[in-house]
Amino acid sequence: MNTPLIAPSVLAADFANIRRDVEMLNESQADWIHIDIMDGMFVPNISFGLPVCEAIKRHAKKPMDVHLMIEQPDRYLEAFRDAGAEVLSVHYEACTHLHRSLQYIKSLGCKAGVAVNPHTNVQLLEDTIGDIDLVCLMSVNPGFGGQKFIENTYKKVRQLKQLIVDNGASTLIEIDGGVNSTNAPLLMEAGADVLVAGSFVFKSEDPKSTIADLKSLQPV
Ligand code: DX5
Ligand code: ZN
């Protein structure tokens, strides 16, 4: 079993001190920096957009994992690549032509991710799994940080892992929402590769050591 990649979500950072918080992530054992983009349409909240993404990029020394919770994401893929995204995830539920969106992301030189809402069955990815670098399994309904982890996620991780193995794909499984040190080992055991954590990291007393703790957790 591999150690998970840890992707702290800056949605829970202090936006008035974003440079300080990004520098903390640079010094920490975080592998990626998770950036949540919300448009107030696909999800009932607005986070921040391209200028903030560019500002984070100016200080970030780790890959930026951009999670687009927006309608018709194709319109903005190139702009987010230019703003520094290395991984670009679009929502399954927001893409009429998912296969085309995935090819487009790859043509931009980014890793292609697909995020799936809690109600979306992972078997729907059967015909595209070979084209997906990362599936972001939402373990809360997207739109807000600090929500409670949905327990049905474990089952979805196992189903998705099986789908990946059955298709000989090398897709990474990322878990996003309500991740903490209690559910993280269980998620790893179920087959997760990347753990996103917002509140659990940034609201802790010592975010850097919280990241180190997540990194060193062993699967149960
Ligand atoms: C939710 C976002 C998450 C969020 C996670 O819509 O996609 O990335 O920031 O935050 P926590 O870890 O607080 O649930
Ligand atoms: Zn996210």
Ion ligand 2 neighbours, Cβ < 5 Å? 36, 67, 176
Nearest protein Cα to ligand 1, atom 4: 145
Measured from the CA of 67, which atom of ligand 1 is nearest? Answer: 7
Residue 58 has φ and ψ, to the nearest 5°, of: -60, -25
Nearest residue to 104 (alpha-carbon basis) of 75, 70, 127, 136: 75
Element (H, E) at 6: strand 5-8
In the chain, DSSP finds a helix count (H) and a strand count (E) of 8, 8
Per-residue pLDDT of the chain (220 residues; tens, 9 = 90+): 579 999 999 999 999 999 999 999 999 999 999 999 999 999 999 999 999 999 999 999 999 999 999 999 999 999 999 999 999 999 999 999 999 999 999 999 999 999 999 999 999 999 999 999 999 999 999 999 999 999 999 999 999 999 999 999 999 999 999 999 999 999 999 999 999 999 999 999 999 999 999 999 988 8
**What is the CATH topology of the domain spanning 5-216?**
TIM Barrel (3.20.20)
How many Cα atoms sit within 13 Å of 172 on the Cβ side?
22
β-bridge partners, 212 = none
Tell me, in angstroms, the distance from the centre of ligand 2 to residue 35's CA: 7
Tell me, in angstroms, the distance from the centre of ligand 1 to residue 35's CA: 9
Active site residues: 36, 176
Residues in the chain: 220
Residues enclosing ligand 1, CB less than 6 A? Answer: 9, 11-12, 34, 36, 67, 140, 142-147, 176-179, 196-200
Q: Which residue type occupies 142? A: P
- Asked if 137 contacts 173 with a C-beta cutoff of 8 angstroms, the reply is yes
Q: Give the start-to-end residue ranges of the domains of the chain.
A: 5-216
